[in-house]
C-alpha cells in the first residue's frame, strides 16, 4: 500500500489510503465520485467474496483494481480498469491521470 500512496501523492490530491476491507466497504457505501484504487492481491479469498457480495453500492467514482481480480468480483464491483502485475514504473500514476 505504501508504494501506491507514494506513486500517487504528488498527482492525486484526494487520495484516501484504505488499509482494510472495512474501510473499502465504507468508502463504497458513500456516494463519492472520486477514484478508488484497490490492491486485490493484498486481499484474502474471504475478503474478495465479501466485496463481490457487496458490489459497488453507492460509489459513483472510478474504480481501479491492481492484481488478479476474479471475474465475478470484477463484474459485481463494475471495475473500470484492471491493472495486472507486474506493473512498470509509474504505470499506476499514468493510468490515474488518463482516467481523470
Q: How far is Cα 82 from Cα 99, in angstroms, rounded to an integer?
A: 12
- How do strand 62-66 and strand 81-83 relate by DSSP bridges? parallel
pTM of the full structure: 0.82
Give the model confidence (pLDDT) of 68-94 as tens digits: 999 988 998 899 999 998 888 888 888
pLDDT, residue 67, reads 92
Amino acid at each position: 500500500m505504501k508504494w501506491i500512496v507514494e506513486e500517487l501523492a504528488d498527482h492525486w490530491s484526494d487520495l484516501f489510503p484504505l488499509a482494510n476491507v472495512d474501510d473499502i466497504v465504507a468508502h463504497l457505501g458513500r456516494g463519492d465520485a472520486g477514484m478508488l484504487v484497490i490492491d486485490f492481491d493484498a486481499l484474502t479469498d474471504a475478503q474478495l467474496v465479501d466485496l463481490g457480495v457487496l458490489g459497488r453500492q453507492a460509489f459513483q467514482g472510478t474504480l481501479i483494481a491492481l492484481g488478479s481480480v476474479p471475474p465475478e468480483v470484477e463484474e459485481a464491483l463494475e471495475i473500470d480498469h484492471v491493472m495486472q502485475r507486474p506493473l512498470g514504473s509509474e504505470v499506476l500514476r499514468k493510468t490515474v491521470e488518463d482516467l481523470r
